[in-house]
Structure 1
Amino acid sequence: MPNIIKNLMPLCLMLSIPISNIIYCLLNNANRGTHSLVTDLDQSVPFLKIFILPYLLWYFFIFGTLSYFCFKNKRIYYRTLIAINLGLLISYAIYFFFQTNVPRPDLVGNDFLTMLIAFVYNNDQPYNAFPSIHVLLSFLMIKAINKYPGKNYYNVCTVYTIAILIILATQFIKQHVILDLLFSMVLGGLIFDLVFHINLERLGSWLRRQYQWLNVRKRSANGIDELKSPSKQLGVRY
């Protein structure tokens, strides 16, 4: 319990992900026109209902993996969370300027898996596809576990297995096309490497110095204004 309380504030930073999802919802439409990235290869990808299960597992996977890093290694946690939020913002910008659509199959049957897919289809319009946020964040989890100093056979296999199943699921339940998948992994790799190569401590120190310098200039400017004021010079009181 004390460990949970100690990490409560860092864990709350994960709320930035669902909060930014508001932007996703606002952009998830065809109001700005859409483009199709469907290729012949996409036409040959089968529709497999069973993959709705790992697709829905994504939510627990992302927050569970981030929580694990929060307790085990704060550096990995904070930088991965920064990479996630940066990736989300870039994705939203792309959705705004280059909206795509993904054709979906007609659902047949009333079995449990079909109902789950229908639930996803009804609550997530076939837009905001390039890049895939499911693929982007899952790939970032793979990058993070590779960077984690305490990685072992079990945590690596767990993260890799779930992440790969989720990435495949985006194809097999027809939520994304292949180009969405490929671009998401390239984008995720670039963002992750950028965030982990930046010296955040030095950047934070530089920003603090700039802030202090601006405060000094502001105080100096206020002091000069007071000296120039006629009332100050004449000792007039109001």
Structure 2
Amino acid sequence: MRNTNTGYKPLLWILVIPVLNIFYGILNHGGPNVVSLTTDLDERIPFVPAFIIPYLIWYPFILAMLIVFFIKMRRVYYQTLITLCLGLVACYITYYFYQTVIIRPTITGDGFINWLVSLVYSDNPYNCFPSIHVLTSYLMLKGMSDCTTLSKTSRLLIFITSWTIIISTLFVKQHFLLDIAGAILLAEVLYFVVGKLLPVQAESKQSVVTDREENSMIGDVIEIKGDKVV
């Protein structure tokens, strides 16, 4: 009897993400050619510590969404996960050749919210363009749009959560507007390319399965006819 647990093995591909994230720490430092992409509009955006909550929700949200896509629509799971991994690689290559930095505000006062902000700020303020938070959150929106089995309520919750996370990167002063724009553009291009490649592979595998099923059916018919002749 086939073990039903083997059907969940493709979820293990999610482990590629933390492996790739090793490079985030390696690249998260300054250098002689570090630039800032701040604009006048960025300077007008206020610092709102409360947005650290949706900023941190990003971690379980991405994992949960990949699992949902896996359960609801396997093709969307693969397309989103592959795009995410390729996006991480593209981000790390960009950080290596074009490192950017953001100047964070000074945290004053106590309280749980300020403590969370200080915890996030303990990381170096580099690896800004493009934003990985925005890249991955936007990919959940792309996956949601293709996952036709999701309910309207689920779509609304995913939409609100994704965009709140994206906006939070501005209000907690972790990214600039250009970081967001670059991440969305990268997500759009990679998701489109991966989507064009996946159907070809899927159709190819499906045709093999169909041929095998057809040959099996023909064999069964021949066997039945043979039994009747006997």
Q: TM-score range by the shorter chain?
A: 0.7 to 0.9
The answer on whether the counterparts of 1:42 and 1:178 sit within 8 Å (CA) in structure 2 is yes
Distance in 1, Cα, partners of 2:76 & 2:166:
22
Q: Which amino acid aligns with 2:162?
A: A
Q: CA deviation at 1:32?
A: 5.1
Q: CA deviation at 1:201?
A: 4.5
Gaps of 5+ in 2: 205-230
Distance in 2, Cα, partners of 1:198 & 1:78:
11
Residue in structure 1 matched with residue 142 of structure 2 by the alignment: 143
1:108 correspondence with 2:108: yes
| CA spacing shift, 1:60–1:3, aligned 2, 3 Å | farther
Q: Which amino acid aligns with 2:168?
A: A
Residue in structure 1 matched with residue 159 of structure 2 by the alignment: 160
Q: Which amino acid aligns with 1:185?
A: I
Distance in 1, Cα, partners of 2:146 & 2:23:
30
- Please give the per-residue CA displacement for 1:214-237, whole angstroms capped at 9, x wherever unaligned: xxxxxxxxxxxxxxxxxxxxxxxx
Matched pairs, number:
204
Q: Which amino acid aligns with 2:110?
A: N
| CA spacing shift, 1:60–1:79, aligned 2, 3 Å | same
Q: CA deviation at 1:151?
A: 2.8
Residue in structure 2 matched with residue 125 of structure 1 by the alignment: 124
Runs of 4+ in structure 1 deviating by more than 6 angstroms, as ranges, are none
Q: CA deviation at 1:149?
A: 1.8
Alignment map for 1:46-125 (pairs within 5 Å): 46-122=46-122, 124-125=123-124
Q: Which amino acid aligns with 2:181?
A: L
- Please give the per-residue CA displacement for 1:5-47, whole angstroms capped at 9, x wherever unaligned: 2443111110111111001110000135311101110000010
Q: Which amino acid aligns with 1:113?
A: I
Q: CA deviation at 1:97?
A: 0.3
TM-score, normalized by length of structure 1?
0.81
Q: CA deviation at 1:185?
A: 0.7
Q: Which amino acid aligns with 1:19?
A: V
Residue in structure 2 matched with residue 180 of structure 1 by the alignment: 179
Give the CA RMSD over aligned residues.
Answer: 2.1
Q: Which amino acid aligns with 1:144?
A: G
Distance in 2, Cα, partners of 1:57 & 1:3:
34
SS state of the match for residue 198, structure 1? Answer: helix
Gaps of 5+ in 1: 206-238
The answer on whether the counterparts of 1:135 and 1:181 sit within 8 Å (CA) in structure 2 is yes
- Determine which structure has more spread, i.e. the larger CA radius of gyration: 1
Q: Which amino acid aligns with 2:161?
A: I
- Please give the per-residue CA displacement for 1:152-183, whole angstroms capped at 9, x wherever unaligned: 31111011110011001000000000100111
- Please give the per-residue CA displacement for 1:159-213, whole angstroms capped at 9, x wherever unaligned: 11100110010000000001001111111111111111124544997xxxxxxxx
Residue in structure 2 matched with residue 235 of structure 1 by the alignment: none
The answer on whether the counterparts of 2:79 and 2:198 sit within 8 Å (CA) in structure 1 is no
